[in-house]
Chain A
Amino acid sequence: MSEMENIQQRPLLLKILKSPYLIISAMIGGILMGVYAPDASTIIAPAGTIYLNLLKMTIFPILISAIITSIGHVFGNKETKIFLGRILTYSFLFLFIISIISVIFPLIIQPGSGLSESARITLGKTLSAADQSGSSASYFQEKQGFVSFLGQMIPQNIFDSMGKGHSLQILFFSILLGVATGALRDNNRKTLLGWTEALFKAFFSIIEWIMYLLPFGLFSLMAGQIAKSGLETIFAMGMFVMVIYLVSLVIFLASAVIISISTKVSFYKAIFSLKDALLIAFGTQSTFASMPATINGLSKELKVDEELVNLVVPLGSVINRFSMIITYGVATVFAAQLYGVSLGVADICLALVLIVLAAIAGAGTPGIVSLAMISIIFTPLGLPSSALLVLLLAINPVTEPITTMTNIYAVAASTALIAKKKKEPLVEEVE
């Protein structure tokens, strides 16, 4: 409520700073600087990192307070089971559909077949350089299995987990604490939930302030990233990058349609209401960093049930890694084409399941570690995972902006869809 009032009273300067045109211009400026003045870009790059840290600073407190508050409220309600069941169903539905889209497009376009001689030479050089430095091996050090995945989910010490940023452990703890809070007697529950809600709002205000610096942050982030990316490899993988962008665009547009129908707004407004979240995601490549803006856009601009948004968006940000699904899907088909391994229908079905599993197994891990999860998909299919990891790392600076942006938008779409199906308000206690 108070945020809405603020919008009308904002001074001109602050209005300009939050204008999407300025933000987009800053990003384009950063890209141009990265291309034409790479040395200067490297100097200003730390400013971008500082800004990103500033954004991420309050993410875990927001995640914890949002989850506790929403779960705490929900568990005071009888329809809880149906409600959580619906979240799970839609999450899996989205994961599988996106996985199918990500596999079908490269199967049709075939980015891994018929690479030019010069492209093959560049890829070969990239791979042999990695072989000699042994850089790819380090990402595969931790063996993944279902038991170790469970083990990683349960924190030994929650404060240690927060310190180290183990988002999956923090999520697990927050859900448990939310359930426990919901089970408390009326008085205690209301007191505790009042606290967490107040904390959530306070942390949110900090994000609101930081958002005014977004143009500067994105400018230096983009400049630094472009300057350090290996452009040669990116060009050699041009078709791969294009397919990633195409798949992302398709999922993005589909998400826009879902949001537009579910919230009964125009197609244009479905996109524009979440512009902050989308731009942050594109510029920072951090789903977490854009989480507060997504919550804000969905609940304030699109008027999706606030309680539900506060629950589903943090959950989805950690668990539903659509960006990884897109990358895994395209990479799997690309690798099969590059190495002349033919994928039958059974292989493709297996791949679809493995892609979803790998994305869930990588939940809560930083981008590079979750890229290494491709071994979960590649090993059963007999594809070389370490080689593809090297190539994925090389093109990541170019593909991550679009996949992260699509990720946060698909999370928003799934939230809007779940909220639409929620006919009557589930949470009656909240006024």
Chain B
Amino acid sequence: MIKNFIVLLFLFGLGMIFSALLLGYTPDSELNLTGRYYAEHTAQDLGAANIVTAIIVTYRGLDTLGEVTVLFLTAAIVGMLLSTGAGKGKSLQRKLSQSGELLTTGSHLLVPLILLLGAYVFINGHLTPGGGFQGGAIIASAILLILLTDPLYRFSHQLISIVESISGLIFLALGVLGIFFAGGFLDNRILPVGELGSLFSAGAIPIIYSLVGLKVGAEFSSMLVNFSETEDS
């Protein structure tokens, strides 16, 4: 009882801070200095139509590299935590009732389409609201659908790690190429900037974001696969 009271007191205090923040907040009517710089320079410098993508992949590319590394670490830790001690092959013997006809047929129809949508989202990341992280999440949702249809389906861990490490290595290599052929690490202008708004524009951004998409998709998939393999027999 006393614990609930302390919790409510704490939340009340936090709520007071939030309401003070909310009441004292006046929305900007102009872009601030950083936002203005990105808005004015993205199109002519990098040729990317989606300014958020330009910030993530090029202006703050190093942060994205760190973000992908954090995801990789998470996938590795989840794999390490969940794989040790679990009886391999034990879960495979478990008999499950067949998933329904509708779910099976539906997933056979939808999985290729979802994969296609994921690839579309990350290839067009520099033109439309989308990109590597979103596309990767969509690809992982196809894997999730397969696992829902057949919980005992086993994906090849080797394939997932090969896709992940190769896309990560090429991502890094493109970043290093930027030091020699353009302005610096992860500069996208190692390829021609091209015409604003066309698919082959914005230098290396589509390539880098596609690789990020594959890498993120592989990492999310490996997390899902690791979780599904913990299923008790």
Q: Do A and B come from one complex?
A: no
